[in-house]
Structure 1
Amino acid sequence: MFEGAKDYLEATFNAISALAAVGALCYAVIQVSATKRLARESDALQAHREYLSLCLEHPGLSSSLLFAKNQKIRSFDEIDTMLSPETEAYLWFLSIVLNTCEQILENVAAKGPWRRILHNQLRIHWPALEKMWPKWENAYGGRLRRLMAEVLALGPETDWTEYARTRQSVPDKISL
């Protein structure tokens, strides 16, 4: 009689131990997954922070409108053949914008706030990206290509349209 009870208790403890081990394994997987997600989010935030710092260091490159005003151009049709230090700096800046966007897209889900941030940052460079993206797009992944297709389909922002359409000057100082 005690032998059967002993076997039963042993089997019960083995089952409980196995369940505890499975539970611990599940907990570990969840923890590792959460840690990886936080690390990816941190990488995305760092990439965006570095991009914003670059914009502050070089405000004349931070949007197509500011660049166009500073260079006194109304079109980006020949941006890749102008060959000046300023246009080269702007083209490199655009590459940084695209690489930053791709880095963020690789690290976080492209929805919600991140999608709006990337969308807005790309849109302020629409006039130049419209010309350069067809030449560069094959160097980037599918997520960025899909986002760029959305951005390019929207067309330029109103301030660029007005600037390019008129021969009036845009105020040199924009009040914040």
Structure 2
Amino acid sequence: MALTDSDYTTISSISAAIGTLLTGIGLVYAVLQIRWNKQASREAEALQAYRDYLERCVQYPELSSWDMFKKHASNGVKGRVYDAWTLDSERYLWFVSILITTCDEILMNVSDAEQWRHTLETQLEYHKELLIETPELNGESYHDATRKLIEKFVPRPKNEKAT
């Protein structure tokens, strides 16, 4: 039995449909692969930021906690660190800002961020006194998850709504 023109047309249409379907599947896979790669890259960058923070703790132990800062600040700690305008206070504020930014990166970009929560809380706890006296550090530039993590140590005033 020979194939007719109609049979060839049907086979051609089926082949074109299969080709289009396979192209679509390939396109979806490529888009997903790009997303997965971007997520893996952001996760690796967040974890590297944490490693960099830990290296700074070793390199500058006088900034690694509130107690160490108070002990080593050249002019002592008088009043709010945020208002002191000394070289030591600025270094310490920037150091804690780096920690908060690192927390933000981990909470936003690491797939198992919940498993990191305790570690991040522990790191922030070292700076609890600064966080309490300097609510400016819990700024709007951080994601909600990060602000909530900080609020564990620094409760919002009763008249201010939680995010």
TM-score normalised according to structure 2 size: 0.77
How many Å apart are 1:81 and its aligned residue? 3.6
Mark the runs of 5 or more structure 2 residues left unpaired by the alignment.
Answer: 156-163
**Secondary structure of 2:82's aligned partner:** coil
1:15 aligned partner? 17
2:136 aligned partner? 135
How many Å apart are 1:55 and its aligned residue? 0.5
Give me the CA root mean square deviation. 2.8
Paired with 1:76 and 1:39, the residues of 2 have a C-alpha distance of 43
**Secondary structure of 1:102's aligned partner:** helix
Greater mean alpha carbon deviation, residues 108-117 or residues 62-71: 108-117
Paired with 1:65 and 1:138, the residues of 2 have a C-alpha distance of 24
Paired with 2:131 and 2:78, the residues of 1 have a C-alpha distance of 9
**Secondary structure of 1:141's aligned partner:** coil
2:53 partner letter: Y
What is the percentage of aligned positions where both structures have the same residue?
32
The answer to whether residue 38 in structure 2 is matched with residue 45 in structure 1 is no
The answer to whether residue 152 in structure 2 is matched with residue 150 in structure 1 is yes
8 Å contact from structure 2 (residues 106, 113) kept in 1: no
- Residue among 61, 78, 92 paired with 2:63: 61
How many Å apart are 1:60 and its aligned residue? 1.6
Identify the structure with bigger relative contact order (alpha carbons < 8 Å, sequence gap 6+): 1
8 Å contact from structure 1 (residues 102, 140) kept in 2: no
Per-residue displacement from partner, 1:118-168 (whole Å, max 9, x unpaired)?
222112111111111x22333522332222113435xxxxxxxxxxxxxxx
Decide whether aligned partners of structure 1 residues 23 and 81 sit closer, same or farther in structure 2, where only a CA change above 3 A counts. Answer: closer
TM-score normalised according to structure 1 size: 0.72
1:35 aligned partner? 37
8 Å contact from structure 2 (residues 49, 102) kept in 1: yes
2:29 partner letter: Y
8 Å contact from structure 1 (residues 76, 127) kept in 2: no
Give the count of matched residue pairs. Answer: 152
Paired with 2:131 and 2:62, the residues of 1 have a C-alpha distance of 16
Per-residue displacement from partner, 1:82-120 (whole Å, max 9, x unpaired)?
444333322221222222223333433573233233222
Decide whether aligned partners of structure 1 residues 141 and 88 sit closer, same or farther in structure 2, where only a CA change above 3 A counts. Answer: closer
Mark the runs of 5 or more structure 1 residues left unpaired by the alignment.
Answer: 154-176
Structure 1 residue runs of 4+, over 6 Å off?
A: none
Paired with 1:126 and 1:102, the residues of 2 have a C-alpha distance of 17
Paired with 1:82 and 1:68, the residues of 2 have a C-alpha distance of 13
Paired with 1:104 and 1:111, the residues of 2 have a C-alpha distance of 6
- Residue among 71, 78, 81 paired with 2:80: 78
